[in-house]
């Protein structure tokens, strides 16, 4: 709305940058669909579940940095992750990460690892090398294996 002041946290940036942001988000969704996560709406729900679980494992500051680097539409989906402010990350490894994902209704309980790798790979592709490295540095070795590109 024209009468409301521009708020960069909650509205897309004006002009050309908003178009770039929209293309980045569409590319992210296309990677999820191509990765076998189903149609767009299901892929969005799965991505939200995976990224919210990741955000619980990293510090609040790093989660904020991660969100700032993501396209606006994806940040909007992840707002639900911020229900309870926290100072410290939860401590869990890959087994717990995958168990949490397997409980999500849209995630095939037989394939949480493939699902996680698909979403994390697509999300990592949205980040700068420095930001991806910052996330990696906050994960235990078994979760680093899920975050890092497969060789």
**pLDDT single digits (tens) 103-139:** 999 998 999 999 999 999 999 999 999 999 999 999 9
CA atoms within 13 A on the CB side of 27: 15
CA distance 72 to 48: 13
pLDDT tens, position by position, 44-99: 999 999 999 999 999 888 988 999 899 988 988 888 776 555 667 889 999 999 99
Task: Specify the pLDDT at position 6.
Answer: 46
131 CB-contact burial (10 Å; exposed 0-12 / middle 13-18 / buried 19+): middle
CB 117 within 8 A of CB 150: yes
The answer to whether 32 and 43 are in contact (CB under 8 A) is yes
Domains in the chain, start-ordered, CATH in brackets? Answer: 16-82+91-147 (1.10.490.110)
Nearest to 127 by CA among 73, 71, 61: 71
Average pLDDT over residues 14-27: 82
């Amino acid at each position: 709305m024209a009468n409301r002041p521009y708020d960069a946290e909650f509205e897309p940036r004006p002009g050309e940058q908003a178009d770039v942001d929209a293309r980045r988000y569409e590319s992210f969704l296309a990677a999820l669909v191509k990765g076998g996560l189903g149609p767009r709406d299901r892929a969005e729900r799965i991505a939200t579940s995976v990224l919210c679980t990741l955000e619980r494992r990293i510090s609040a500051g790093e989660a904020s940095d991660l969100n700032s680097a993501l396209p606006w539409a994806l940040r909007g989906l992840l707002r639900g992750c911020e229900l309870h402010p926290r100072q410290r990350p939860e401590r869990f490894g890959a087994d717990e990460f995958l168990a949490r994902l397997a409980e999500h209704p849209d995630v095939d309980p037989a394939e949480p690892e493939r699902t996680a790798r698909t979403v994390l790979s697509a999300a990592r592709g949205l980040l700068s090398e420095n930001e991806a490295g910052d996330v990696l540095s906050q994960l235990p070795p078994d979760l680093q294996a899920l975050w890092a590109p497969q060789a």
